A and B are shown apart, each in its own frame.
Chain A
């Protein structure tokens, strides 16, 4: 555990990519296979659950630290992280030194679900008494299934590839999918070739970079395909060994969530893997993302939901045909194969092809780009005809040219302290626009978009201009104006403003504007009329 806690702290401390890869690589080279397996489990975002009640854990920790619950809560407010708070308040009296490894602790935690509350209490307290502060912190994250670390899957794959001298794309493929650390091991999963290959396993997505400068900089227009950039859920549809799997980006196996697409298992040739976008679709045309949003995250897809937000798949690439990985074929060849498969399938309003945008020179695209929203698209995808299907975000062959977000100038009126890295700083803001009665009406919350220096300045302002306190929320003197960008806008009965915006974020701080010069609710409703 010591080694893993140290790795965690070191990773946490640096924001240099190479240093992170180096740290993980060292770990993968030195830890036991069993520990590596668990580390990989955590680094790939898998969080085993041990059925513990957070409230109980808080109470046990407060009792052990001999402090009342309110003081625990105040401490938690200040730290912003429950696992860390507990690790800090517990008495620093290690009764015995523990040399349990990461996997030992996972097995230790694995006993919890079958225990009574009293046994759980003793079990957890015994663990705390054996661990240092840092180790307790990591242990708590495992205990409560809240382990998160600032390393992307790509970095984990790079480190693992370097540590095992394996091709990164092979490793990326192997760590994906539906494995469980309890019934596989490091050798099977990472080292063994082809063995245990799981029919469900998706390919890593190829991700586009935002275009830099003008599109004409890409050279000869004839070398490129252009498609609309659809606003849905990036998905991979796999049909192998008579079974259909639907993966969404973020590596979630979501087959059950899209029953409309299940018919594909009876029409796709065996050994097919398609890349595309799942969008909500109505009367033969895509709908805004907000429609799709109504069914995301629902456990039960009622008949009503399925009727109100039906989906379709818009295919734009093919990675596997007849069981053969064709990612090294050119975009043009793959496109031809995709078109062939699409042509052979009868039910085409649910299985669509992402059509190519016709253009002969770059300037044509400049004319078309502003019509993206009318086409329910977020802009263009520009793909080099000779490009292979690559792994992760790579520059050069796939570009995205997004439309500018919608935006409005709004006044900061409420603030709340952040958590984690931003604990103790006011970083969560609520913004408002002017209503007809001259009152500020909140319409969006936003967390990101400011630099650290700006966050410091805004925090400084807030701490000196608090008007009222409501629990953790502070009412702030309405003075600061920010340009708030968002991707979509919709009517909403849940919000006071009657409006809900999608992906609100701060575009910039309008230091040049006074609160009175911010936009009005009427402005916001104007945007709604145009784009709903």
Chain B
């Protein structure tokens, strides 16, 4: 009995002495040695941001650090005057002996995996990522590590993406068909990430490309920041409805339950999302055409990423956490699930909050809101 007691005391001592490089505190992914938080969901002193989606980049922290390509959007969303330090991919920065660097995650523009090294041990917090090169975000690079923190948004074997070129062809054909029938093609997808990928991937129409305010303003900021994107035309109350005939209109996913959309009649409604892989999700969304296009890894790529990281231990964050960690454990990779406030259930959020963008453009929408994001919401 007493030997048991000493054993526990010993374990406690060891744990105290060797604090893990990163911890899951329920507020962020936290590095105690550097007193730095990765993607915190409450305001902190020092926040390292993997990417600018609003479930990862939240309002209110004192100092931010992110990749330089995230700057334009972070300033748009979190306020122009935030204290923000930017770095290049691979550039090392040291805080209290901890060596940090950002590496491409391929998720959206500026998205990064955060590599954290302390006393020879390497952890990687990968945020959201995908392996396929989308032609706009810097393509994912595997980073060797001891511990890998991964998302699992599509962590089920039912999710297997087709090559994006096939999806872009589907979009091109759909648009051509609608144009022939003199209908507007309203294409929905997340403003940040999905839309830029689409603009780089599809055949751009000859005429103007119309956009909802949420997408328009992001596109403008990215163009101002020097990114090669086509010019979009903002849809306003004054825009002549006849012009929408046979044209392409880009919109965030929340518009399909709004009155904003009715002005485009007659139209065909398309939606780009990984969730479109399921018939149920597609029908529930009541879109005319679902395009299976995701900025997250599918099942095969998720497994590839985990293997290529070389990690002996994996923490699974948002998505199918318990399922994916069980799968890894059964396949000889030690894994645990972690509860975070990232991602998942985006659709439900979108529907549940019920805030259709009635407004014409910019004033709508959490997606681009320069005011504080509601900390209870977790949109991406």
Contacts and interface: CB of A to CB of B under 8 A. Distances in A.
Interface of A: 12-15, 65, 67-68, 70-71, 74-75, 78-81, 84-85, 88-89, 92, 137, 419-425, 452-453, 456-457, 459-460, 463
B203 interface: no
Given A422-B280, A456-B354, 6 more contacts: A74-B156, A84-B278, A85-B158, A89-B157, A423-B281, A456-B351
Q: Decide if the interface of chain A is mainly helix, strand, loop or mixed.
A: helix
B278 A79 contact: yes
B351 A15 contact: no
A89 B158 contact: yes
Task: Point out which of B282, B348, B354 has the most chain A C-beta atoms below 10 A from its C-beta.
Answer: B348
Contacts of B156: 71, 74-75, 78
Nearest to B283: A421
A460 B160 contact: no
Nearest to A457: B352
Given A13-B289, A15-B286, A460 B278 contact: no
A79 B158 contact: yes
B279 A81 contact: yes
A152 B258 CA distance: 30
Give the 3 A-B CB pairs with smallest separation, nearest first: A460-B352, A456-B351, A88-B158
Contact of B157 (A12, A71, A137, A420): A71
Contacts of B283: 12-13, 420-421
B280 A81 contact: yes
Contacts of B288: 13-14
Interface of B: 156-160, 257, 277-284, 286, 288-290, 320, 323, 326-327, 330, 345, 348-349, 351-352, 354
A459 to B, nearest CB: 6
B158 A75 contact: yes
Contacts of A81: 279-280
Contact of B277 (A68, A80, A88): A88
B356 to A, nearest CB: 10
A80 B286 CA distance: 18
Task: Point out which of B157, B277, B286, B290 has the most chain A C-beta atoms below 10 A from its C-beta.
Answer: B157
A460 B351 CA distance: 9
A70 B284 CA distance: 27
Contacts of B158: 75, 78-79, 85, 88-89
Given A78-B156, A89-B157, A92-B160, A453 B280 contact: no
A75 B160 CA distance: 13
Contacts of A80: 280
Nearest to A72: B157
A68 B279 contact: no
Contact of A74 (B159, B257, B323, B345): B323
Contact of B323 (A71, A137, A459, A460): A71
A328 B235 CA distance: 56
Contacts of B348: 425, 456, 459-460, 463
Contacts of B327: 71
Contacts of B257: 453
Contacts of A463: 345, 348
A12 B326 CA distance: 35
A85 B281 CA distance: 13
Contacts of B279: 12, 81, 84, 137, 420-421
A15 B327 CA distance: 39
A429 to B, nearest CB: 16
Nearest to A84: B279
B374 to A, nearest CB: 14
Contacts of A452: 284, 286
Contacts of A456: 348, 351-352, 354
Nearest to B376: A464
A14 B290 CA distance: 12
B352 A423 contact: no
Task: Point out which of B160, B279, B290, B349 has the most chain A C-beta atoms below 10 A from its C-beta.
Answer: B279
Nearest to A65: B157
B320 to A, nearest CB: 8
